Each structure stands twice: as structure tokens, then as C-alpha cells.
Amino acid sequence: MKFKLDENLPVSSAEPLTRVGHDVDTVAGEGLKGAPDLDVVAAAAGAQRVLITLDQGMGDIRAYPPGSHAGIIVLRLADQSAAAVTQAVTDLASFAELSTLAGAIAVLQRGLLRIRHQ
């Protein structure tokens, strides 16, 4: 599966996903650092990548309806340190059916992944 890490995630958080065979790139690596959210979501969708972010606004289904993008995963974490974010992505990487995230809005919070499809 293909993922894109938003600029608010440490680049090191890509490792748990790449370790299990996923293709991961970053907003910063694509030169989109500081770009509006709509542009970031459009770039991820254009590359068929599920976007992973800490930006809770990207979990708004009115602004980003399921099916209008390649998928968005919002990490809702009380601790947003690099270690906590990397642990959350490690937890995400352990979910067996990540393909169910395509086109969906998902929120990962305290080990629970809630997925909203079309």
C-alpha cells in the first residue's frame, strides 16, 4: 500500500510501514511543506497515497468526504512527540487489513482505529 506522511509527522515514523513492505513518501520530500491542506490531499490522491496526519481538521468528512481522496488517517494523540507518533504508526502498521483504508477517513486513537467509508 502507498502512504504519504504529512509534514507534522517525523520522517522516522515511515520506518514501521516500510519495514512491513509499504511504500511511503513525505509531504516535505515532495516540496509541499507549508502547502494548503487541500493541495496536500490532492497531491496524495493524485499519487494514490493514503495521507497520515496529526491535523484533526483533515478528519472532517464535510471537507474531505470519503471517496473524494485516496484516504486520510488522522492520528489523534495526546502526546505528539516523535516517539509517540512513531508508536502510533507502528500500531497502524500492525493492522492486517490496511487496504480497507483506501478512500476512507480513519482516526487512530489509543490503539483504536475508526474507519468511515462512503
pLDDT tens for each residue of 10-39 = 999 999 999 999 999 999 988 899 999 999
Contact between 21 and 15 under an 8 Å Cβ cutoff? The reply is no
Q: Which residues contact 69 (CB under 8 A, 6 or more apart)?
A: 41, 42, 44, 45, 51, 103
Query: Is residue 4 within a helix (H) or strand (E), and if so which, with residue range?
Result: strand 2-5
What is residue 14's predicted lDDT score, i.e. its pLDDT? 94
Full-prediction pTM beyond 0.85?
yes
Mean pLDDT value of segment 40-61: 95
Q: Which residues contact 63 (CB under 8 A, 6 or more apart)?
A: 57
What is residue 61's predicted lDDT score, i.e. its pLDDT? 92
Does 96 score more than 90 pLDDT? Answer: no
Does 41 score more than 80 pLDDT? Answer: yes
- Beta strand spans in 11-71 (E): 23-26, 50-53
Mean pLDDT value of segment 68-87: 94
pLDDT, the chain, mean = 92
